[in-house]
Chains A and B, each alone.
Chain A
Amino acid sequence: MIYISKGEVNKWLVCLGLAVFVAGLFASSAMAKVTVTYWEKWSGFEKKAMGEIVDDFNASQNEIKVKFLSVAGIDVKTKTAIAGGNPPDVVGLWSYSVVPFAMNNALIPLDDYMKEAGIKEESYISSIWDLMYAQGKVWALPSTPATMGYHYNKGMFQDAGLDPDKPPLTIAELNLYNEKLTQMDAEGNIIQMGFDPGWPGWFKYPWGWFFGGELYDAETQTITADDPNNIAAYEWINALAEKYGRTNLMSFKSGYGGFGSPTNPFLAGKLAAVLQGVWEANFIQTYASDMDWGVAAFPYGPNGKPDTTWVEADVLAIPTGAKHPDEAFEFIKYVQTQAAMEKLCLAQKKLTSLLATYNNPDFINNHPNPYIKFFFEQAMSPNAKIAPRVPIWSFYDKYMQVAFDNIIIGEVTPADALKEVTTTVQQELDKYKGMF
């Protein structure tokens, strides 16, 4: 018989206790949280909105902790991070990056994850869903979508003798309205304008759509920037600049304040209307809360169609080389649930990508944007466009920007400018022939 003293028993108990404790430590560290890094482009209130969703997700379970970071210049930073081998696990890109990134093997396809999670294409508004696709696979899922509209200042309309409930339907009408809304002072300086396509300068490429033009023919993989309808659109822009004086315009524009500030020209009453997205309401409410405003489909030109708009989205994707792709998708999956998505989009004052939300009176009626239904309908319009799905979209966009600037300055004719864009971009696109 082994004689064990009381003292020894105590010692053994202590050792056992320690062992259990240490084992427990190991066990919990084995179940330790996986940190998922999430880079997002937002700042300000938009960032805050997503921040709450991240907090909700982190609180809802114990395995994954999402680390939410705001990154400026996210396109370039993500590309270099992926190339450098240490990308984030989730990245919040713009929808126009999906095709270029996917074509360059920069993202992980999400089809298998979606199947497992039961996420179906049918739940989404089809025009928004189209943004997530490339080469038959899905590469991203939406966070907050946007459609565009002609936002106008009803007060300024009234002052100019226009009916505030009758926004212009066609470009011809828009030109007439602009004449009434644009005022100059005694020296010929512009005091206010009806519309400035150059503000805020994010959208220098979409004008052709309103005139019935297309930027890209997917079937033949041809760049169609010099489509006669596109040329007509930029002729219109050129005519605007010519009519009100190019130097005049330049000095008028130089007085614009920052976008998110009370000196935003639309918010400060310098521009009677702007082509902006669903987010504009939030800026109006923050900086110009007493503006009486309305929104309608942007007017269409001779060959255009009514209810033409384009759809964009902020998307969530998993970069190639992400350390925790499975956990990353868990977070993305969470954002796709109706509750989370509605909370996020409500806070950012946008519409959601889910059809269910359109039919959800709670969302529609509680939404701070009084015209939210309009933005949903725009997304579902047969004439809702999306940016060309080419692997070189940033290149195409840059050249359109340069063309636009040069047309406004009067340095080049729209036809020449667009022809040049077409040749240059086509040449670049041809390098990818056969690869997508």
Chain B
Amino acid sequence: MKRKARRDLRNGLLFISPWLIGISIFLVYPIFLSVYYSFTRFPLLSPPSWIGWSNYLELFQDKVFWTVLYNTLFYFSLQVPLIFIVALSAALLLNTKVRGMALFRTFFYLPSLVPIVATAILWAWVFNARYGLLNAALSIFGIKGITWLNDPAYVKPSLVLMSLWGMGEPMVIYLAALQGVPVNLYESSFLDGANWWQRIYHITIPLISPAIFFNVVRWVMGAFILFTQPYIMTGGGPGRASEFYVTYLWENAFDFLKMGYASAMAWILFIIIFAVTLVVFKFGAKKVYYEGA
């Protein structure tokens, strides 16, 4: 190798060495450790003992495991499309020329800044069937409120509803992307007689597809690792209706001290996320349009 190339290689590696060291210690090593633990029985306060595939076998026979998988997928399939629609609609709305727009944008964005714990606690109160804000607001319109968090049929949709409140973050990303859509495209489409919906579908969406893609990947991840809100608000109840993958993982690890079992769960989660992300990326590669690419 030429001297310059060799020097560049050395320098490059030196500069990224913090990251290399970091992932070796905090990523690669734990991953291997996790695999090891998933084949053991490890009640934390006693040393681990090898039990082969038992944890995985037990997982597949564990009714709760399948319940939480279902709950997580349910949440995911409800939340991702909804938040997409809501965030994009809000972004479109906030992209119009109206006085005081900056203020409105702030209002829409603020909730996503609130610390998750505070949001969870606040909405636990908002959802209170008797004295909460939501049912009170509904009663103004004469609608009888439901028992949001205490009804096994509605507890998951309630959590989805709450997540929509924090759609400020993806919305802002859409806003930024919308600003980048060239005006002349809209102009010419107008001349061609395109209506509002056609404009969105054929111009807006393809041109902001990188933003859509970015958000979808984040939502997929977020939906699978949902923890804080159900942990604080419902504890998985009623029954196991709001028990999600990571809250069950947590329960097994730190409540029941079944570290080996929890490690097996972690591994399966990793595989699921990896698979879904792969699908999203493959799909994205076809559909995402990069201007100037």
Complex contact flag A–B (Cβ < 8 Å): yes
A406 contacts the other chain (Cβ, under 8 Å)?
Answer: yes
Q: Mask for A391-421, Cβ within 8 A of B = 1, else 0? A: 0101100100110011001010000000010
A106 contacts the other chain (Cβ, under 8 Å)?
Answer: yes
Q: Smallest CB-CB separation from B238: which chain A residue? A: A405
- Docked complex: A305-346 residues within 8 A CB-CB of B: 320
A227 to B151, CA, bound (A): 29
Contact partners of B41 in chain A: CB under 8 A: 431
Minimum distance in angstroms from A85 CB to a CB of chain B: 11
Q: Are B45 and A409 in contact (CB under 8 A)?
A: no
Q: Are B45 and A83 in contact (CB under 8 A)?
A: yes
Within 8 Å by CB of B150, from A254, A420, A431, lies: A254
Q: Are A250 and B151 in contact (CB under 8 A)?
A: yes
A79 contacts the other chain (Cβ, under 8 Å)?
Answer: yes
- Docked complex: B212-243 residues within 8 A CB-CB of A: 237-240
Within 8 Å by CB of B239, from A253, A394, A395, A405, lies: A405
A406 to B64, CA, bound (A): 13
With contacts A80-B254, A104-B257, A402-B239 taken as known, whether A409 is within 8 angstroms of B46 at the C-beta atoms is no
A254 to B128, CA, bound (A): 7
B189 contacts the other chain (Cβ, under 8 Å)?
Answer: no
A395 to B248, CA, bound (A): 12
A104 to B128, CA, bound (A): 39
Q: Are A394 and B255 in contact (CB under 8 A)?
A: yes
Within 8 Å by CB of A406, from B45, B239, B256, lies: B239
A228 to B9, CA, bound (A): 74
A186 contacts the other chain (Cβ, under 8 Å)?
Answer: no
Minimum distance in angstroms from A392 CB to a CB of chain B: 7
B129 contacts the other chain (Cβ, under 8 Å)?
Answer: yes
A254 to B127, CA, bound (A): 10
A398 to B252, CA, bound (A): 11
With contacts A251-B129, A392-B256 taken as known, whether A82 is within 8 angstroms of B239 at the C-beta atoms is no
With contacts A105-B46, A405-B237, A411-B239 taken as known, whether A250 is within 8 angstroms of B150 at the C-beta atoms is yes
B147 contacts the other chain (Cβ, under 8 Å)?
Answer: yes
Q: Are B257 and A79 in contact (CB under 8 A)?
A: yes
A328 to B238, CA, bound (A): 40
- Docked complex: B233-279 residues within 8 A CB-CB of A: 237-240, 251, 254-257
Contact partners of A402 in chain B: CB under 8 A: 239-240
Contact partners of A409 in chain B: CB under 8 A: 152, 238-239
Minimum distance in angstroms from B64 CB to a CB of chain A: 8
A161 contacts the other chain (Cβ, under 8 Å)?
Answer: no
Minimum distance in angstroms from A168 CB to a CB of chain B: 28
Q: Smallest CB-CB separation from A394: which chain B residue? A: B255
B287 contacts the other chain (Cβ, under 8 Å)?
Answer: no
Within 8 Å by CB of A106, from B45, B131, B150, lies: B45
Q: Are A104 and B238 in contact (CB under 8 A)?
A: no
B202 contacts the other chain (Cβ, under 8 Å)?
Answer: no
A2 contacts the other chain (Cβ, under 8 Å)?
Answer: no
Contact partners of B237 in chain A: CB under 8 A: 401, 405
Q: Are A104 and B45 in contact (CB under 8 A)?
A: yes
A30 contacts the other chain (Cβ, under 8 Å)?
Answer: no
Q: Smallest CB-CB separation from B44: which chain A residue? A: A83
Q: Are B150 and A82 in contact (CB under 8 A)?
A: no
Minimum distance in angstroms from A43 CB to a CB of chain B: 16
Q: Are A79 and B130 in contact (CB under 8 A)?
A: no
A395 to B253, CA, bound (A): 12
Q: Are B255 and A104 in contact (CB under 8 A)?
A: no
- Docked complex: B136-162 residues within 8 A CB-CB of A: 147, 150-152
Q: Smallest CB-CB separation from B251: which chain A residue? A: A398
Within 8 Å by CB of A76, from B46, B152, B255, lies: B255
Q: Are B256 and A254 in contact (CB under 8 A)?
A: no
Minimum distance in angstroms from B68 CB to a CB of chain A: 12
Q: Are A394 and B256 in contact (CB under 8 A)?
A: yes
Q: Are A82 and B45 in contact (CB under 8 A)?
A: yes
B43 contacts the other chain (Cβ, under 8 Å)?
Answer: yes
A17 contacts the other chain (Cβ, under 8 Å)?
Answer: no
- Docked complex: A228-263 residues within 8 A CB-CB of B: 250-251, 253-257
A272 to B132, CA, bound (A): 25
A428 to B238, CA, bound (A): 23
Q: Smallest CB-CB separation from B58: which chain A residue? A: A427
A256 to B255, CA, bound (A): 28
Q: Smallest CB-CB separation from A409: which chain B residue? A: B152
Q: Mask for A69-81, Cβ within 8 A of B = 1, else 0? A: 0000001100110
Minimum distance in angstroms from B131 CB to a CB of chain A: 8
Contact partners of A320 in chain B: CB under 8 A: 45
A178 to B135, CA, bound (A): 30
A395 to B240, CA, bound (A): 14
Contact partners of B131 in chain A: CB under 8 A: 255, 257
Within 8 Å by CB of A251, from B128, B147, B238, B240, lies: B147
A-B contact pairs, 28 of them (CB 8 A): A75-B255, A79-B45, A79-B254, A79-B257, A80-B254, A82-B45, A83-B44, A83-B45, A104-B43, A104-B44, A104-B45, A104-B46, A105-B45, A250-B150, A251-B129, A253-B147, A253-B150, A254-B129, A255-B131, A256-B130, A394-B256, A402-B239, A402-B240, A405-B152, A405-B238, A406-B239, A409-B238, A411-B152
Question: Knowing that A80-B254, A405-B239, A409-B152 are A-B contacts, what are 9 other residue pairs whose CB atoms are under 8 Å apart, sorted by A's residue number?
Answer: A250-B150, A250-B151, A251-B147, A254-B129, A394-B255, A395-B256, A402-B239, A406-B239, A409-B239
User: Which residues in A have some Cβ–Cβ distance to B below 8 Å?
Assistant: 75-76, 79-80, 82-83, 104-106, 250-251, 253-257, 320, 392, 394-395, 398, 401-402, 405-406, 409, 411, 420, 431
User: Which residues in B have some Cβ–Cβ distance to A below 8 Å?
Assistant: 41, 43-46, 63, 128-131, 147, 150-152, 237-240, 251, 254-257
The 8 closest A-B pairs by CB, nearest first: A254-B129, A255-B130, A405-B239, A254-B147, A104-B45, A405-B238, A406-B239, A83-B44
